[in-house]
């Protein structure tokens, strides 16, 4: 049965508390979906225009492949990625100790625009907040303090992801926690930006249209080629 809120409207935000990031179930929930962490591939942060480049096309075909196969290929896990996971745990513990308690969340989706966008928050804070943690090399952590903390601005690399997270969750604020072991923790609060979020929705809508058109062509090509099945082998498969 479809859920209806007190105003008679269908809620568009769906929160998956039971998913753990990085697990097969989490990957399955994200399969074929445009997500906040990848939104920077389809929109140019400096201009807020939809991207038209090789990275955008590669991402389109990656999501198309996931939608037609129902499978997410494994990716290479680098040393930086492993360190980032450990730093995230420490950063959230420090945040909870010095600022506010946090709540673990696996995945959040919103389909209010006629298509679905996903977001994996590092944590919820109360009823209104988010936490997004970033593991930084020390030169970037020092730069963050010098350039961004006093000015209360989000580093450009994270603006689109954080604004997409706020858009998907419909929460009031997001604390960016910048962590670099041996240096002080940095916290910068971001609020929804209507201009940026409007550009995100516009870029995502165009991307979904192009993806749907490509999927139609794929089906036509499969029918023409005879749809000869193959068997996937995934033992020990690691892709860069």
- Give the residue extent of every domain in the chain: 13-223
Say whether pLDDT at 153 is over 90.
yes
Least confident of 70-74, 123-127, 132-136: 70-74
- The third-level CATH classification (topology) of the domain covering 13-223 is Lambda Exonuclease; Chain A (3.90.320)
Can you give the pLDDT at residue 117? 97
Q: Quick one: pLDDT band at residue 163, thresholds 50, 70, 90? A: very high
3-class DSSP string for 74-110: CECCCHHHHHHHHHHHHHHHHHHHHCCCCECCCEEEE
Cβ proximity of 201 and 36 under 8 Å? no
Query: Residue 9, exposed/middle/buried by CB under 10 A (0-12, 13-18, 19+)?
Result: exposed
Q: What average pLDDT score do residues 42-65 get?
A: 95
Say whether pLDDT at 212 is over 60.
yes
3-class DSSP assignment, residue 237: coil
Q: Which residues contact 175 (CB under 8 A, 6 or more apart)?
A: 95, 99, 125, 129, 130, 131, 132, 187, 188, 189, 190
Can you give the pLDDT at residue 240? 44
Say whether pLDDT at 4 is over 60.
no
DSSP 146: I
Least confident of 9-23, 93-107, 145-159: 9-23
Q: Which structure tokens are listed for 91?
A: 């950063």
Say whether pLDDT at 116 is over 80.
yes
Q: What average pLDDT score do residues 137-155 get?
A: 96
Can you give the pLDDT at residue 10? 54
Q: Quick one: pLDDT band at residue 76, thresholds 50, 70, 90? A: low
Which segments within the chain are labelled E, that is strand? 13-16, 34-35, 43-44, 49-50, 107-110, 117-119, 123-125, 129-135, 173-179, 186-190
């Amino acid at each position: 049965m479809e859920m209806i809120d007190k105003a008679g409207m269908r809620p568009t935000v769906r929160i998956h508390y039971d998913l753990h990031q990085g697990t097969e179930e989490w990957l399955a929930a994200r399969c074929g979906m445009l997500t906040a962490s990848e939104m920077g591939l389809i929109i140019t942060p400096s201009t807020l225009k939809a991207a038209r480049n090789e990275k955008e096309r590669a991402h389109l075909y990656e999501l198309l492949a996931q939608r037609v196969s129902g499978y997410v290929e494994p990716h290479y896990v680098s040393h930086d990625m492993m360190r980032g996971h450990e730093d995230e745990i420490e950063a959230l513990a420090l945040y909870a100790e010095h600022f506010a308690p946090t709540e673990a969340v696996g995945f959040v989706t919103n389909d209010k625009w006629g298509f679905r966008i996903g977001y994996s928050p590092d944590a919820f804070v109360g009823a209104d907040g988010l936490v997004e943690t970033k593991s930084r090399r020390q030169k970037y952590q020092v730069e963050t303090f010098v350039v961004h903390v006093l000015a209360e601005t989000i580093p450009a690399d994270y603006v689109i992801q954080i604004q997409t997270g706020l858009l998907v969750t419909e929460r009031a604020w997001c604390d960016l926690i910048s962590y670099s072991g041996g240096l002080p923790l940095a916290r910068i609060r971001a609020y929804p930006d209507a201009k940026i979020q409007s550009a995100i929705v516009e870029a995502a809508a165009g991307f979904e249209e192009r993806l749907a058109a490509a999927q139609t062509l794929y089906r036509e090509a499969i029918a023409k080629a005879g749809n000869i099945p193959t068997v996937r082998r995934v033992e020990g498969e690691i892709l860069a």
